[in-house]
């Protein structure tokens, strides 16, 4: 008689004890515990949850950079650094009798199961968009039960970079149903914001060879419209499923590489060269380094 098949929608059993991933994690836990032992590392012993929080952000950024560079070895190393910081935070919290790694893992497990009813329940989801809508709806209900902020935009950390935060806010607004029919609407908003910026920019400031000194009222209007343009551009990226933070980082990387190449074409400071000379060198830099305009 054949064994009954397990329900594919049930929560899976824990991985076997001989899973090599568990062995590696167990070793890392032991290292972290040793570092926080009374005779462990003086630096690690001085740390608190609050002091370690910035390292979590820093390591996450380094992991993102390694992934963008498509280096498996670097990504694995940076992912390990992220794990180390998180385990240290959990160990510190455990020693303060607040929570431990087990509590964090259980919370994550319960949350993943609860927010994936299309995998572990009877709900259905035919696309990533439907999954996102369901995820945000479940989070709203969780916040309502906890008597927390129930806005569709709740839950986006204010500490994120502005471009990253704009991307997340856009995702949440779209998931809530507040969105253009297609990307043309988002592009139209960029064009509209650009026109409004042009309207408030004094012609004299555009023609000035020096940095223009704007009147306080004009400056405020320019900041407002330029901010709207930047946000609209970030939102357009969201509609095109492109990450504005990654795109800006990539653009900065191209600029820096071309600028350094241009610098290398001259002897002496750049300010001794004319704009025409520098632009010609810039064109040569782009041709040498390749890539899009």
Q: pLDDT per residue over 41-64, tens digit each?
A: 999 999 999 999 999 999 998 998
Mean of all residue pLDDT scores within the chain: 91
Higher-confidence position of 85 and 70: 85
What whole-number percentage of the chain has pLDDT above 90? Answer: 64
SS (H, E, C) the chain: CCCCCCCCCCCCCCCCCCCHHHHHHHHHHHHHHHHCCCCCCHHHHHCCHHHHHHHHHHHHHHHHHHHHCCCHHHHHHHHHHHHHHHHHHHHHHHHCCCCCHHHHHHHHHHHHHHCCHHHHCCCCCCCHHHHHHHHHHHHHHHHHHCCCCCCCCCCCCCCCCHHHHHHHHHHHHHHCCCCCCCHHHHHHHHHHHHHHHHHHCCHHHHHCCCCCCCCHHHHHHHHHHHHHHHHHHHHHHHHCCCCHHHHHHHHHHHHHHHHHHHHHCCCCCHHHCCHHHHHHHHHHHHHHHCCCC
* pLDDT reported for residue 7: 65
| Domain at 25-109, CATH from 1.10.287.1080, 3.30.1490.20, 3.40.470.10, 1.20.120.790 | 1.10.287.1080
**pLDDT, position 291:** 58
Instruction: Locate the domains of the chain by residue range.
Output: 25-109, 115-179, 180-242, 247-289
- Rounded to two decimals, the pTM is 0.68
Is the pLDDT confidence value at 92 over 50?
Answer: yes
The CA-atom distances, in angstroms, between 204 and each of 200, 210, 213, 216, 219 are 12, 11, 10, 15, 13
- Above 50 in pLDDT, residue 220? yes
Residue 210 scores a pLDDT above 80: no
286 band by pLDDT with thresholds 50, 70 and 90: very high
Whether the predicted pLDDT of 2 surpasses 70: no
Share of the chain above pLDDT 70, in %: 96
pLDDT of residue 143: 86
Residue 188: is its pLDDT beyond 70?
yes
Work out the average pLDDT over 131-149: 87
Instruction: Identify the pLDDT of residue 1.
Output: 45
Confidence of residue 292 (pLDDT cuts 50, 70, 90): low
pLDDT band at 293 (very low <50, low <70, confident <90, very high): low
Residue 176: band (very low, low, confident or very high) from pLDDT cuts 50, 70, 90: confident
């Amino acid at each position: 008689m054949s064994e009954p098949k397990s329900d594919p929608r049930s929560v899976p059993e824990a991985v076997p004890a001989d899973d090599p991933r568990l062995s590696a994690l167990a070793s890392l836990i032991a290292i972290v515990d040793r570092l926080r032992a009374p005779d462990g590392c003086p630096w690690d012993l001085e740390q608190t949850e609050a002091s370690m929080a910035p390292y979590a952000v820093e390591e996450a950024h380094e992991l993102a950079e390694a992934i963008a560079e498509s280096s498996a070895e670097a990504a694995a190393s940076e992912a390990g650094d992220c794990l180390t910081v998180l385990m240290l935070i959990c160990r510190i919290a455990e020693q303060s009798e607040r929570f431990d790694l087990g509590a964090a893992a259980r919370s994550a497990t319960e949350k993943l199961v609860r927010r994936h009813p299309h995998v572990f329940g009877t709900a259905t989801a035919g696309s990533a968009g439907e999954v996102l809508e369901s995820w945000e709806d479940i989070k709203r209900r969780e916040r309502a039960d906890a008597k927390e902020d129930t806005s569709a935009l709740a839950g986006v950390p204010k500490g994120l970079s502005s471009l990253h935060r704009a991307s997340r806010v856009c995702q949440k607004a779209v998931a809530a149903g507040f969105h253009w029919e297609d990307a043309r609407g988002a592009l139209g908003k960029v064009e509209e914001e650009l026109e409004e910026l042009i309207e408030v920019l004094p012609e004299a400031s555009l023609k000035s060879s020096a940095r223009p000194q704007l009147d306080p009222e004009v400056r405020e209007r320019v900041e407002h419209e330029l901010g709207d343009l930047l946000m609209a551009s970030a939102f357009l990226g969201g509609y095109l499923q492109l990450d504005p933070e990654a795109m800006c980082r990539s653009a900065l990387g191209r600029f820096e590489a071309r600028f350094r190449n241009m610098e290398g074409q001259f002897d002496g400071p750049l300010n001794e060269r004319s704009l025409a000379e520098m632009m010609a060198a810039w064109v040569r830099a782009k041709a040498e380094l390749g890539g899009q305009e």
